[in-house]
Amino acid sequence: MKTFSQIIGQKRAVDFLKRVISGDRVPHGYLFTGINGVGKSTAALALARAVNCTSDTTGDGCGRCITCRQLSSGNFPDIMSVGPDGQNIKIEQIRELNRGLNYKPVSGRFRVTIIERAETMSEEAANSFLKTLEEPPQGNIIILKVVDQRDLLPTIVSRCQRVPFNPLNRDVIKGYLVEHHNQDESTAYLAAGIADGSLGRAIEICEEGFLDNRRELIELLIGLFDMPGDQVVETAIGYGKKFSKKGQEDKSDIDLYGVTGIWKTCLRDLLLVKVNGNCDMIENRDYRERIQGLAARHDADKLIEGFFLVDSYQRDLLRNPNTGLLMEKMLLELKMLSS
């Protein structure tokens, strides 16, 4: 069941929506902006519930009326969604939508139509949609979703109530993961940092097994410093195979871009500890002691070189498709730096 009170960290957007839909004349066009995973989809469903619940006073739906029950089970007939078919939302899709909007809602007071990735509307489609958006047939609410409103025609934007959804604060995401997804504090903190403001992404990170991969990769990087030469060669060849395109069939595995991302956080942590001497600012807090130990044994120059080495491999990835070879070379070069 999606309700306004489930949405976290978006008080302004939620208060605004609750206020405008409680008036006598409910506005019919909305533009939800913001990165993925910050509450736009939940808000669209919460809005559908709030305007259609037959016995609600709180803005969250009563949870008992037929509309609320249909919405909870995903069987509410007056909710529609249109999104890109291939690259674009095509003119035919908008024509079909325009026809559909002329019918009265089946069950509720309002039919709610959600346009996913509205920025993908072709120019023709957008122009054909303008009139609908200005004056849709009675009983219709249209919600456009987009990351950045600058990707839409100004004529579309100006016809909507604009509702920005902000990237979420790291602590807010961390708290949510601890409370609702059974994560421990340090894992939640880390996932929240990697997710960069998106709760949806943070939840995916926790579910993907990303954190297990991370553990293995940090162990590998830290272990590399003390590994005997012949073992390094063997390890590099092994990981080279694992990260070649063929070895990457399992989608749950992290890709080389993710590897370089994690290693950069480690090398930055090592540098921070080396320069500041304290661990308050480091990302990988669960490796605090080993990072302190390593930082004490290596020069800042080497650590800086290591960071830029990994960074350059991360950029190479964009043009070199041979990921296996890159992984192998990167490991060997890192080892050479540390010895």
**Minimum CB distance to Zn ion, residue 56 (Å):** 5
**Minimum CB distance to Zn ion, residue 7 (Å):** 18
When asked if residue 48 is in the footprint of Zn ion (CB under 5 A), the reply is no
CB 147 within 8 A of CB 38: no
CA atoms of 78 and 52, how far apart (whole Å): 10
When asked if residue 108 is in the footprint of Zn ion (CB under 5 A), the reply is no
Q: Please say which residue, 108 or 136, places its beta carbon nearer to Zn ion.
A: 108
When asked if residue 53 is in the footprint of Zn ion (CB under 5 A), the reply is yes
3-state secondary structure of 81: strand
CB 310 within 8 A of CB 319: no
When asked if residue 1 is in the footprint of Zn ion (CB under 5 A), the reply is no
**Minimum CB distance to Zn ion, residue 188 (Å):** 34
When asked if residue 65 is in the footprint of Zn ion (CB under 5 A), the reply is yes
Q: Please say which residue, 111 or 335, places its beta carbon nearer to Zn ion.
A: 111
Q: Please say which residue, 58 or 339, places its beta carbon nearer to Zn ion.
A: 58
CB 221 within 8 A of CB 58: no
Q: Which region, judged by CB under 5 A, interacts with Zn ion, from 59-67, 163-171, 216-224, 295-303?
A: 59-67
When asked if residue 91 is in the footprint of Zn ion (CB under 5 A), the reply is no
Q: Please say which residue, 68 or 146, places its beta carbon nearer to Zn ion.
A: 68
Q: Please say which residue, 141 or 160, places its beta carbon nearer to Zn ion.
A: 141
Q: Please say which residue, 53 or 282, places its beta carbon nearer to Zn ion.
A: 53
CA atoms of 25 and 47, how far apart (whole Å): 15
CB 317 within 8 A of CB 323: yes
- Find the binder of Zn ion among 61, 105, 197, 324 (CB under 5 A): 61
CA atoms of 253 and 293, how far apart (whole Å): 29
Size of the site for Zn ion (CB under 5 A): 5
- Find the binder of Zn ion among 1, 26, 62, 279 (CB under 5 A): 62
Neighbours of 125 (CB within 10 A): 20
CA atoms of 186 and 175, how far apart (whole Å): 11
**Minimum CB distance to Zn ion, residue 67 (Å):** 5
DSSP annotation string for 105-140:
PSSSS-EEEEETTGGGB-HHHHHHHHHHHHSPPTTE
Neighbours of 215 (CB within 10 A): 13
- Find the binder of Zn ion among 68, 143, 177, 195 (CB under 5 A): 68
Neighbours of 211 (CB within 10 A): 16
**Minimum CB distance to Zn ion, residue 5 (Å):** 14
**Minimum CB distance to Zn ion, residue 221 (Å):** 54
When asked if residue 46 is in the footprint of Zn ion (CB under 5 A), the reply is no
DSSP annotation string for 53-71:
-SS-SSSS--S-SHHHHHH
Residues that bind Zn ion (CB under 5 A): 53, 61-62, 65, 68
